[in-house]
A and B are shown apart, each in its own frame.
Chain A
Amino acid sequence: MQQTEPTAARTPDAVKVVKTHGLPAIPFCIATAESPGVAFVGMSDFAVHRIDLGADKPEASPIGEARHGSYVTGIVRVGGTIVSGGYDGALIWWDAGTGSVVRRVEGAHAKWIRRLALSPDGTRVASVADDMRTRLWDVATGGCVADWGDNDVKTQHGYPSMLYAVAFSPDGRFLATGSKTGLVLVRDAASGSIAGRLETPVMYTWDPKARNHSIGGIRSLAFSSDATLLAVGGMGKVGNIDHLEGALRIELFEWQAQSRRAEIEDTKYKGLVEALRFGPGDGWLVAAGGDNGGFVSAYATSDGRLLAQEKVGNHIHDILLAADGASLVAVGHQQISTVTL
Chain B
Amino acid sequence: MHPDHTGRGTTVHPQGSGVAQPGSGISRRRLLAMSAAGVASPLVADMSAIRLLRSPAFAAELRKQERRVILLWLAGGASQFETWDPKPGVKTGGPFRAIPTDVPGIHISELLPGLAQRMRHTAVIRSLNTKIADHGTAAELMECGRRNDPSVRFPDIGAIVARELGRLESTVPDYVSLYTSTEGRRKGTSGFLGARYSPMFLSESMTPPNILRLENLADVDHHDRAALRDALARRFTAESRSLAVDSHLSAYQRVQGMMASADLFDIGREPESVRARYGSTQFGEQCLIARRLVEAGVPFVKVARAWWDSHGQNFETHQELCADLDHCMSALLDDLRARGLLEHTLVITLGEFGRTPGINASLGRDHFASAWSCSLSGAGVRGGVAYGKTDEEGHTVVEGEASAGDLFATILASLGIDPEHEYMLGSRPVPLADFGSEPITEVLA
Q: Please report A residues at the B interface, Cβ cutoff 8 Å.
A: 25-26, 44-46, 69-71, 87-88, 112, 130, 157-160, 162, 209-215, 217, 241-245, 271, 290-293, 314-315, 332-334
Contact = CB atoms under 8 A, between A and B. Distances in A.
A183 B222 CA distance: 54
A315 B362 contact: yes
A140 B319 CA distance: 34
A172 B66 CA distance: 67
Given A209-B182, A210-B307, A215 B316 contact: yes
A334 B181 CA distance: 35
A159 B312 contact: no
B321 A333 contact: no
B281 A159 contact: yes
B312 A215 contact: yes
Contact of B319 (A162, A243, A332): A162
Q: Could you tell me the dominant secondary structure of chain B's interface residues?
A: loop
B320 A213 contact: yes
Contacts of A315: 361-363
Interface in B409-423: none
B40 to A, nearest CB: 40
Contacts of B180: 212
A158 B279 CA distance: 8
Nearest to B89: A46
B206 interface: no
A218 to B, nearest CB: 13
B39 to A, nearest CB: 43
Contact of B307 (A25, A70, A211, A290): A211
Interface string B311-353: 1110011011101100000000000000000000000000000
Contact of A271 (B281, B307, B309, B362): B362
B42 to A, nearest CB: 41
Interface stretch (B90-98, B231-239, B386-394): B90-98
Contact of A44 (B95, B279, B309, B362): B95
B306 interface: yes
Interface string B59-101: 0000000000000000010000000000001010001110000
25 contacts: A26-B359, A44-B95, A70-B95, A157-B281, A159-B281, A162-B319, A209-B181, A210-B181, A210-B307, A211-B309, A212-B181, A213-B321, A215-B312, A215-B313, A215-B317, A242-B310, A243-B362, A243-B364, A244-B312, A244-B362, A290-B361, A291-B312, A315-B362, A315-B363, A333-B363
Nearest to A111: B319
Contact of A214 (B320, B359, B364): B320
A159 B97 contact: no
A233 B319 CA distance: 21
B137 interface: no
Select the residue from A88, A212, A245 with max chain B CB neighbours within 10 A.
A212
A60 B361 CA distance: 19
A69 B307 contact: no
B24 interface: no
A158 B275 CA distance: 14
Contacts of B96: 70
B10 interface: no
A159 B309 contact: no
B362 A211 contact: no
Contacts of A159: 281, 320, 323-324
B256 interface: no
Contacts of A292: 360-362
Contacts of B363: 26, 315, 333
Given A70-B97, A158-B281, A314-B361, A210 B317 contact: no
Contacts of A71: 95
Contacts of B181: 209-212
Nearest to A130: B319
B76 to A, nearest CB: 7
B309 A242 contact: yes
Given A71-B95, A159-B281, A213-B307, A242 B319 contact: no
A263 B282 CA distance: 33
B361 A332 contact: yes
Nearest to A112: B95
A154 B363 CA distance: 23
Interface in B5-40: none
A292 B365 CA distance: 12
The 8 closest A-B pairs by CB, nearest first: A211-B307, A333-B361, A314-B361, A244-B312, A292-B361, A71-B95, A70-B95, A87-B95
Contacts of B320: 159-160, 213-214
A158 B307 contact: no
Nearest to A24: B91
A112 B97 CA distance: 12
B97 A210 contact: no
A291 B317 contact: no
A88 B360 CA distance: 22
B76 A242 contact: yes
A232 B246 CA distance: 68
B280 interface: yes
Given A159-B323, A212-B181, A242 B312 contact: yes
Given A211-B309, A244-B362, 7 more contacts: A112-B95, A159-B320, A160-B319, A210-B181, A211-B183, A244-B313, A333-B361
Nearest to A160: B323
Nearest to B96: A70
A158 B312 contact: no
Contacts of A243: 311-312, 362, 364
Contacts of B312: 215, 241-245, 291
A338 B433 CA distance: 58
Which of A112, A241, A290, A293 is most buried by chain B, counting CB atoms within 10 A of its CB?
Answer: A241
Contacts of B310: 242
A218 B180 CA distance: 28
A25 B359 CA distance: 10
A213 B282 contact: no
